[in-house]
Amino acid sequence: MNPRTLFRIVAVAEAVTWAFLLLGMFLKYVTRTTEALVPPAGAVHGFVFLCFVVTTVFIWINQRWSVMTGLLGLASAIVPFATVPFERWIERRGRLGGGWRLAPGAEAPRNPAEQVQAWVLRSPIVALLVAIVGISVVFTVLLLVGPPGSSS
């Protein structure tokens, strides 16, 4: 899977989970019919949000985005549905083209972030398992802390 495909999938997934979360909030707060959708939609959205953040940083390193582009990518996850327009914007500007530049046999890593990315590309299964565990740990901690605006 190339950077363009990976980023597109995760950007769309993040927007879709926003839709489910907003639907749940609409049913809970506007129509007052049910709040049953909010916990699962919030949990799935939170997990996909974390995946989007990790993916954005990974693509940022690979594509050598500017700091501003990378920060805009991260910020796009905060605004509902903004990940898709951001993905289309960087695609139109050619900032998602090409393959993995630090893949085995390609460029040599020049800094610690690139060394991590090169390791991920050399050992994708192990890296995926590490990422899933890491994201799951962060996700669990955030679940224990509670949703935004909740009082403990």
The dihedrals phi and psi of 40, each to the nearest 5 degrees, come to -70, -40
CA–CA separation, 77 and 58 (whole Å): 15
- CA separation for the pair 57, 117 (Å, rounded): 10
Digit-by-digit pLDDT tens for the chain (152 residues) are 999 999 999 999 999 999 999 999 999 999 999 999 999 999 899 989 989 999 999 999 999 999 999 999 999 999 999 999 999 999 999 999 999 999 999 999 999 999 999 999 999 999 999 988 998 898 889 888 887 676 65
Q: What's residue 85's pLDDT?
A: 98
DSSP state of 27: I
Predicted local distance difference test score (pLDDT) of residue 55: 96
Q: So what's the pLDDT on residue 151? A: 62
Pick from 70, 28, 72, 78: nearest CA to 50: 78
Among candidate residues 91, 134, 82, 130, the one with its CA nearest the CA of residue 71: 82
What is the pLDDT at residue 142?
85
Q: pLDDT at position 79, please?
A: 96
Q: Where are the alpha helices (DSSP H) in the chain?
A: 3-25, 38-63, 67-76, 83-92, 112-122, 124-145
Cβ atoms of residues 24 and 76 within 8 Å: no
Query: DSSP code of 28?
Result: I
pLDDT at 135: 85
Q: In the prediction, which pLDDT does 152 show?
A: 54
Separation CA 84–CA 129 (nearest Å) = 26
Q: Where are the domains of the chain?
A: 3-145
